[in-house]
Structure formats: structure tokens, C-alpha cells
């Protein structure tokens, strides 16, 4: 069957399609049907089945005689270590960890926050939660204590599992003090913390509250897998929206298992036993789906890579890892390739390694610019596949299904919708637009299994954020078009979300921080185009009348505030002081026009602008920091 047949077979009978895919999962009790329509646009998949994620990701492979296969390779050029864990070892480690968590009172439905760098123990903590039916929420290490505190107050975890430190090139990230600070800031207090002490930094433990990862497992009874309902949340993953309050994307257990398993062969074209590598971070959705869950559920070997595309030690790291471990499918973000290309444009490092194992490269997380794709294709001589998805969906909305049928690559397009997604381009009034016309990208409800059924404890916000603008559809927040051949093109976000080095950030969240500075009367943050990171945030500050502070001091202070409150990952380094902000007559800040000015693009004078002269002032201000040339 080719792509068209597979897609039409899904469209003809979605429930039969997903029930068939569900046969690849071990159920304790098979679901009676696929889709549960809860009314009012709320849907769940496989709700009455009973199943365990950890069993499917670990134990069943051991039972099937694959216990000796390597499940996880930890390759850390930062610490200079390499460590392989077989499926049998993984089962023992996870069962013991789960047993220790259970002994401290963690049960099905309890939340556990995981704050760990790229070490196998991060995956083990996720799987141990799954084993007990506890709901994990992994927080990315590049966020500051305040962001962690916000997530603690929303998820109300019974426990936090953290590492003593993370390692960035040339810098130790002190995780434990961040955890302590976050707990102090948060209103909700977890019962206890478990700390994985790394040899690079041993953290201070608080007597009675904090337990050592190894010590607290001593003498415990290993835990068996606890079957849960198909609609039991497997995890919550917070992502940026329009405001500073992150959205807690919920992932239900049954659909997550079925959909992810389906993607491994059909999209990524790997078979059980093949080595699959997603060079992302466990704190992001790519890390959840394609470092941890999908490869393990499918019986692949996954790589936990603690390093950067460049500088650890050089621009050949990716190729060294692929060659050393026999990676067949490799997944990264375009920004990582841009970094490598900048250091090694001719691909000298690529030719140092035997890459004959590598069959396909996948890119996602941000728009893949044609230069980067062409460079990668020319250098690596394998298909370079752009695919489009979001934290909310958990797997690709559009991709080139390499395991079904490799479709011709159209550079600039993440190819075609995957089964499960009925994608439409709509105008502002919600009317479908013809091929080639730009509009909002929306997906007809219901979304497929594995996508978000709601937001954590925030159904109203879920409806408002995704279901209200276009009744009957899920609003993706992306704008784009579909061509005559059914290929999608993703052009821009329709909201305040920006994408910095593949990291999703909210400009609204940054504005909330800037407004907190005592000298700032009004502010705006926009995402300007950046050659390496795709976008970079730039802040505009209007200071209070009569403010005597030195402008450059205020700029320094707000840069520090964003780093302290949101985290280094915001990469907020540029801000300018202006007298006023361009606005419509109704007071809306003209951010899109400001972005065009910064990027040196032509723009139409907005008809509703209050005072056109302000745009020249914005241009002059941007020129002082090297933009709007
Ligand atoms: N823990 C703590 N800090 C982190 C971090 C983590 N896990 N990840 C990044 N940071 C810090 C960085 O050290 C940097 O701090 P600095 O301001 O002190 O230099 C800051 O956050 C910004 O990081 P980043 O935007 O990633 O830039 P970089 O200069 O460190 O690296 C790239 C640039 C392109 C090499 C890098 O962004 C990269 O590899 N990106 C790939 C992105 C990716 O895989 N995304 C996943 C989505 S698929
Ligand atoms: P995240 O939730 O962090 O995965 O970010 C999702 C957003 O990143 C999407 O809504 C898009 O704006 C952007 N994105 C992800 N993949 C792509 C892609 N292949 N092409 C263009 N934009 C993408």
C-alpha cells in the first residue's frame, strides 16, 4: 500500500485503522472500541482498555527474548563517558526505582516532576512513573527556578526527581539549588525529593525531605507494572502559549502507545532492533516521544546524547555518534544543522566517518530553511525529511512516510498529512481556502490517538486556546497553505509564540517579566529572524516619564531578569529603549510590522496605525542593535 491508500483507508474508517494499529500493543484488557465521543468536542481514545506504558516499552521486550539487546546508549561527549543499558538491565533498574517510589507513597495518579539532564536516569524516572501509573511532568533544565515553581503549583507533585547538576559546555548547571529555590517559591510543597548525585557536583540533601537516588532504592521490593485505563494520563508536558502561564498538555496512555508505535515504522522506517537517535532533550516533546517512548515501545535502541552539535568537541560529533552506534534514522532540529554548517560548510568532518548505516535524516521543531536542507542532502547523501508537529500533537501532523512510501521531497514543505489528521486551511471567518492560498492551519476534530485530549485541570483554557476560533476544528496556531499535490507549507505562527533554536517560547511571557521592572512603563517583545537560531527575542522598553536611570543599565537589568525568571533558554539578550510603541487606534501593538522592519522586509503601512512616524523611530532603535538594515 502506498501513502494514498493508507491515508484513504484511515479516512474511510478511522476507528478500524486505529484498532488495527492497537494490535501492536500488549493490553491487559483490550479496548472495546477506539474512539469515545464525550460530547461537546471532547474525545478520548481506547478509554476502556487497560494497559501499562512501561510494560510495553520495557518488560515485553525482555519477555519476548530481547533482554540482551541494548535499549539505551548514553553517549556524553561532555563527560567523556559511554554507557549501554540492555532491556533486561533497564527492566531491573526501572522496577527497583518504581519500588522505591512506591515505598515512599507514590501511587497511580500521583504527579511526579522530573528535572534532569540528558542521562539515562531521566528516562528511567519517566518509565518508573509509568510503571506505577504515576503521572510525570518533565521540566527542561534550561528553565529558571520560577518556571519550575509555576509547574509545581499547577501539577501539585507528590515528589520531585532531580539530578544534582546538568552540564553545559564550560558551565555546571546547579539543578539542586534551582529545585530548592522553586520549592521555596511554590505554594504547593512536594512530600519528598529524590536526587541523582552526579560526580561532577554532589548536592546538599535536606534531611527528611531529600533522598539519594541509590540509597533510597536499597532493599526495596521491585514494583510490577500497574495496568491503567487507556484514558489515564501518562504525562503532563508544559508548553508556551500566549501568556506567561504555561499550558499543561495532557497525554493519555492508550493512544500514546498506539500512535507512537505506528510512527516508528511508517514515518521513521525502523524495525525493532534498529538504532534510532533523536538529538533533542528529554524536557521537550521530541525527547518524550522520540528519545524515550516511541523507540522503546517499538523495541529499538535509543541514544541519550549529552552534548551539543558543535564544540563538544567539534562539528563532527553528530557524525561520530551516528557512525559509532550504527544509527539508521537520525532526528534533529534545523538550528543544529545550521550550527554545524557554519563551522564545517564543506563537510570535512562528515568525510571522516563511515556513515553507511545512516538511511534517513528527519528535521522538526521549527521551519527548515531550504539552504540547510540542501546542504544536509548534499553532504550526507540521504533523504532529509522535514516534518511538522507540536507538543500538543506528540507526533507528526505532516511528514514524508518513509516506511510506507518515500514521497518526492519538496523543499520548504514538511510533505503531507499523516493518517489521523484532516488538515484544512481556513480564512479568518473559518471558511476553507483553495490550494495555494495562505490561511490558518486547522485540523478537523477529532484529533488522532496520542494527541492532547485536554489541558491539565484547565478544560476551559483548552477550549479557548484550541477549539473556539474554528468550531469543529483544532486550531494549530500555525499559518500556511496546501499546494495542488496536497503538500503543506508552514509559514508562521498566528500567536505570540516564537521559536528560538528549536525551543518554543512565549513573547507574552517575556513581556510579563519586562513589565516587572520598576522603570518600565510599557514594553513589547518580538521574534526577529536569526541566521543560526531561526528567531531571537528583542525587547522594546518605554520607560516611565522622568525616569532618571541610565538606559543601558535598565537594558542590562531586564536581560538579567528574563534569565533569572524564565531561564537561559529564553536567549533574551537584546533590548532597546524607545519613546513609544507603534499601535493601532484601538491600542493593539503592531508587533508583526515591527518584525518586518527588524528583518528589513517590505511592509504595508497598517491602515489603523495611530501615528506612522513611530515606525521610523522603531527602525532607528533597531539599527542601534544591528537590525533593520
Ligand atoms: N540546561 C541549562 N541550560 C541550557 C540547557 C539546558 N538543558 N540548554 C540550553 N541551555 C542554555 C545554554 O547554555 C545557553 O546559555 P548561555 O546564554 O549561558 O550561553 C542558553 O540556554 C541558550 O541556549 P541555546 O539557545 O540552545 O543556544 P546555544 O548557544 O547553547 O546552542 C545550538 C546553539 C544551535 C547549538 C543549540 O541551540 C542546539 O543544539 N539546538 C538544538 C535544539 C534542539 O535540539 N531542540 C529540540 C527541539 S526538536
Ligand atoms: P513545539 O511544541 O515546541 O514542538 O513547537 C511547535 C511549533 O514549532 C509549531 O507549532 C510550529 O510553529 C513549529 N514547527 C515545528 N515543526 C516545524 C516544521 N517542520 N516546520 C515549520 N514549523 C515547525
Task: Quick: pLDDT tens for 347-374.
Answer: 999 999 999 999 999 999 999 999 999 9
Tell me, what's the pLDDT at 606?
82
Answer whether 333 contacts ligand 1 (Cβ < 6 A). Answer: yes
The ligand with the least distance to the CA atom of 306 is 1
Residue 606 Cα to ligand 1 middle (Å):
36
Q: In the structure, which protein residues have their CB atom closer than 6 angstroms to any atom of ligand 2?
A: 239, 285, 364-368, 386-391, 414, 477-478, 490, 493, 499, 504
341-345 average pLDDT score: 97
Distance 185 CA to ligand 2 centre (A): 31
How far is the C-alpha of 346 from the C-alpha of 131, rounded, in Å?
47
Among 142, 285, 372, 389, the mutation site with the greatest number of ligand 2 atoms within 8 A of its Cβ is 389
CATH code for the domain in which residue 591 is found: 3.30.300.30
CA of 569 to the centre of ligand 1 (A): 6
**Torsion of Cα atoms, 475 then 570 then 340 then 283, to 10°:** -70
**What are the tens digits of pLDDT across the range 525-543?**
999 999 999 999 999 999 9
Number of the ligand closest to the Cα of 392: 2
Whether 196 shows a pLDDT value over 90: the answer reads yes
User: Confidence class of residue 337 from pLDDT cuts 50, 70 and 90?
Assistant: very high
The alpha carbon of 500 and the centre of ligand 2 are apart by a number of angstroms equal to 11
pLDDT at 198 over 90: yes
Q: Is residue 168 part of a domain?
A: no
- How many angstroms separate the alpha carbon of residue 499 from the centre of ligand 2? 8
Atom of ligand 2 nearest to the CA of 497: 12
- Nearest ligand atom owner, CA of 497: 2
**Mean pLDDT, to the nearest integer, of 201-208?**
97
Closest Cα to atom 3 of ligand 2: 504
Which candidate, 537, 269, 236, 493, places its Cα nearest to that of 366?
Answer: 493
Looking only at the bridges linking them, the beta strands covering 534-543 and 520-530 are: antiparallel
Domain containing 580 equals 497-623
Hey, what's the cell of 225? 507494572
What's residue 607's pLDDT?
A: 81
**Ligand located closest to 336 CA:** 1
**What local confidence, expressed as pLDDT, does residue 629 receive?**
82
pLDDT at residue 304 greater than cutoff 80: yes
Q: What percent of the chain has pLDDT over 90?
A: 94
Whether residue 488 has its Cβ less than 6 Å from ligand 1? no
Closest C-alpha to ligand 2, atom 6: 390
What is the CA(461)–ligand 1 centre distance, in A? Answer: 30
Could you identify the atom of ligand 1 that is nearest to the CA of residue 308?
39
- Average pLDDT (209-225) is 98
CA distance 486 to 267: 17
Cell (9 digits) for 301: 535502541
- Detail the DSSP E strand segments found in 80-222: 81-86, 111-115, 135-138, 159-163, 166-168, 171-173, 192-196, 210-212
Nearest CA to ligand 2 atom 21: 367
Query: What is the Å distance from ligand 2's center to 452 Cα?
Result: 16
- Can you say how many angstroms the Cα of residue 167 is from the centroid of all Cα atoms in its chain? 20
The count of domains in the chain is: 1
Q: Does residue 530 form part of some domain?
A: yes
418 belongs to a structural domain: no
Identify which of 168, 279, 283, 310 to mutate to test ligand 1's pocket (most ligand atoms within 8 A of the CB): 168
Cell 474511510 belongs to 12
- 386 CA distance to ligand 1 centroid (A)? 21
Take atom 13 of ligand 2 and give the residue whose Cα is closest: 366
Is residue 586 situated within a structural domain? yes
**Top mutation candidate among 281, 289, 364, 503 for ligand 2, by most atoms within 8 Å of CB:** 364
The C-alpha cell at 241 is 502559549
CA dihedral 19, 24, 26, 27 (to 10 degrees): 0
Q: By the 8 A CB rule, do 250 and 236 touch?
A: yes
Contact 571 CB / ligand 1 (< 6 Å): yes
What is the pLDDT at residue 610?
79
pLDDT top residue among 84 and 495? 84
- Residue having the nearest C-alpha atom to atom 15 of ligand 2: 365
Q: Is the pLDDT of residue 249 over 80?
A: yes
**pLDDT recorded at residue 103:** 98
Please say whether the dihedral angle defined by the alpha carbons of residues 303, 304, 309 and 314, taken in this order, is positive or negative: negative
pLDDT at residue 612 tops 90? no
Tell whether the model's pLDDT for residue 188 goes beyond 80: yes
Say yes or no: CB of residue 307 within 6 Å of ligand 1: no
Please, what is the average pLDDT of the chain? 96
CA dihedral 591, 594, 599, 602 (to 10 degrees): 110
Tell me the C-alpha to C-alpha distance, in Å, between residue 158 and each of 113, 140, 183, 322, 374. 8, 19, 12, 39, 48
168 lines ligand 1 (CB under 6 A): yes
The answer to whether residue 326 is domain-embedded is no
> Which DSSP state fits 199?
T
Local confidence band at 609 (pLDDT 50, 70, 90 cut-offs): confident
Q: Which of 158, 168, 171 is nearest to 129 (CA)?
A: 158
Pairing of strands 27-29, 50-51: antiparallel
pLDDT, tens digit, 9 for 90 and up, residues 546-568: 888 899 999 999 999 999 999 99
Ligand nearest to the Cα of 140, by number: 1
The answer, yes or no, to whether any atom of ligand 1 lies below 6 A from the CB of 566, is no
* Average pLDDT of the segment spanning 416-427: 98
* C-alpha 366 – ligand 2 centre gap (Å): 5
Neighbours of 465 (CB within 10 A): 19
> Which ligand is the nearest neighbour of the Cα of 280?
1
Rg of the chain over all Cα atoms, to the nearest angstrom: 24
pLDDT exceeds cutoff 80 at 135: yes
- 3-state DSSP assignment of residue 254: helix
Ligand nearest to the CA of 337: 1
Residue spans of beta strands (DSSP E) within 483-519: 488-493, 497-500, 503-506
| pLDDT computed for residue 388 by the predictor | 98
Compute the distance between CA of residue 491 and CA of residue 399 in angstroms, rounded to an integer: 16
Amino acid at each position: 500500500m502506498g501513502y494514498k491508500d493508507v491515508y484513504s483507508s484511515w479516512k474511510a474508517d478511522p476507528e478500524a485503522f486505529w484498532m488495527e494499529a492497537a494490535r501492536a500493543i500488549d493490553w491487559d484488557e483490550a479496548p472495546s472500541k477506539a474512539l469515545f465521543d464525550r460530547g461537546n468536542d471532547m474525545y478520548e481514545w481506547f478509554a476502556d482498555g487497560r494497559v501499562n506504558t512501561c510494560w510495553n516499552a520495557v518488560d515485553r521486550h525482555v519477555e519476548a527474548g530481547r533482554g540482551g539487546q541494548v535499549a539505551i546508549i548514553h553517549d556524553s561527549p561532555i563527560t567523556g563517558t559511554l554507557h549501554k543499558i540492555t532491556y533486561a538491565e533497564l527492566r531491573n533498574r526501572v522496577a527497583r526505582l518504581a519500588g522505591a517510589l512506591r515505598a515512599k507513597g507514590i501511587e497511580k495518579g500521583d504527579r511526579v516532576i522530573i528535572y534532569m539532564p540528558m542521562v539515562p536516569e531521566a528516562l528511567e524516572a519517566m518509565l518508573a512513573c509509568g510503571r506505577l501509573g504515576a503521572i510525570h511532568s518533565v521540566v527542561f533544565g534550561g528553565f529558571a527556578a520560577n518556571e519550575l515553581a509555576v509547574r509545581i503549583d499547577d501539577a501539585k507533585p507528590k515528589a520531585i526527581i532531580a539530578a544534582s547538576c546538568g552540564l553545559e559546555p564550560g558551565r555546571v548547571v546547579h539543578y539542586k539549588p534551582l529545585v530548592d529555590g522553586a520549592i521555596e517559591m511554590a505554594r504547593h510543597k512536594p512530600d519528598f525529593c529524590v536526587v541523582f548525585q552526579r560526580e561532577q557536583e554532589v548536592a546538599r540533601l535536606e534531611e527528611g525531605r531529600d533522598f539519594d537516588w541509590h540509597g533510597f532504592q536499597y532493599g526495596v521490593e521491585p514494583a510490577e507494572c500497574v495496568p491503567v485505563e487507556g484514558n489515564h494520563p501518562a504525562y503532563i508536558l508544559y508548553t508556551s502559549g500566549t501568556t506567561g502561564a504555561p499550558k499543561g498538555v495532557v497525554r493519555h496512555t492508550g493512544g500514546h502507545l498506539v500512535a507512537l508505535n505506528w510512527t516508528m515504522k511508517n514515518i521513521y522506517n525502523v524495525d525493532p532492533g534498529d538504532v534510532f537517535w533523536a538529538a533533542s532533550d528529554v524536557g521537550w516533546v521530541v525527547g518524550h516521544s522520540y528519545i524515550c517512548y516511541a523507540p522503546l515501545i517499538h523495541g529499538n535502541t535509543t541514544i541519550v546524547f549529552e552534548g551539543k552539535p558543535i564544540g563538544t568537541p567539534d562539528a563532527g560529533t553528530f557524525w561520530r555518534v551516528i557512525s559509532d552506534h550504527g544509527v539508521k534514522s537520525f532526528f534533529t532540529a534545523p538550528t543544529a544543522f545550521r550550527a554545524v554548517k557554519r563551522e564545517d560548510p564543506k563537510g570535512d568532518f562528515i568525510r571522516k566517518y563511515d556513515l553507511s548505516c545512516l538511511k534517513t535524516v528527519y528535521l522538526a521543531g521549527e521551519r527548515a530553511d531550504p539552504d540547510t536542507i540542501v546542504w544536509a542532502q548534499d553532504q550526507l547523501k540521504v533523504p532529509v525529511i522535514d516534518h511538522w508537529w507540536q507538543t500538543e500533537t506528540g507526533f507528526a501532523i505532516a511528514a514524508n512516510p518513509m516506511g510506507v512510501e518515500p514521497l518526492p521531497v519538496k523543499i520548504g514543505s514538511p510533505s503531507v498529512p499523516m493518517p489521523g489528521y484532516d488538515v484544512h486551511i481556513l480564512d479568518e471567518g473559518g471558511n476553507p481556502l483553495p490550494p495555494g492560498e495562505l490561511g490558518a492551519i486547522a485540523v478537523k476534530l477529532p484529533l488522532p490517538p496520542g494527541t492532547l485530549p485536554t489541558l491539565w485541570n484547565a478544560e476551559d483554557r483548552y477550549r479557548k486556546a484550541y477549539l473556539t476560533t474554528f468550531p469543529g476544528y483544532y486550531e494549530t496556531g500555525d499559518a500556511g497553505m496546501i499546494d495542488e499535490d496536497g503538500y503543506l507549507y508552514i509559514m508562521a505562527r498566528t500567536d505570540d509564540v516564537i521559536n528560538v533554536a528549536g525551543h518554543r517560547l512565549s513573547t507574552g511571557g517575556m513581556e510579563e517579566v519586562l513589565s516587572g521592572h520598576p522603570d518600565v512603563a510599557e514594553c513589547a517583545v518580538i521574534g526577529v529572524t536569526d541566521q543560526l537560531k531561526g528567531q531571537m527575542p528583542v525587547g522594546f522598553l518605554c520607560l516611565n516619564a522622568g525616569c532618571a536611570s541610565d538606559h543601558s543599565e535598565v537594558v542590562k537589568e531586564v536581560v538579567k531578569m528574563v534569565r533569572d525568571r524564565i531561564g537561559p533558554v529564553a536567549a533574551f539578550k537584546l533590548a532597546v529603549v524607545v519613546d513609544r510603541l507603534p499601535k493601532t487606534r484601538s491600542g493593539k501593538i503592531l508587533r508583526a510590522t515591527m518584525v518586518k522592519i527588524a528583518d528589513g522586509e517590505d511592509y504595508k503601512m497598517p491602515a489603523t496605525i495611530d501615528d506612522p512616524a513611530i515606525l521610523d523611530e522603531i527602525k532607528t532603535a533597531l539599527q542601534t542593535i544591528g537590525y533593520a538594515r
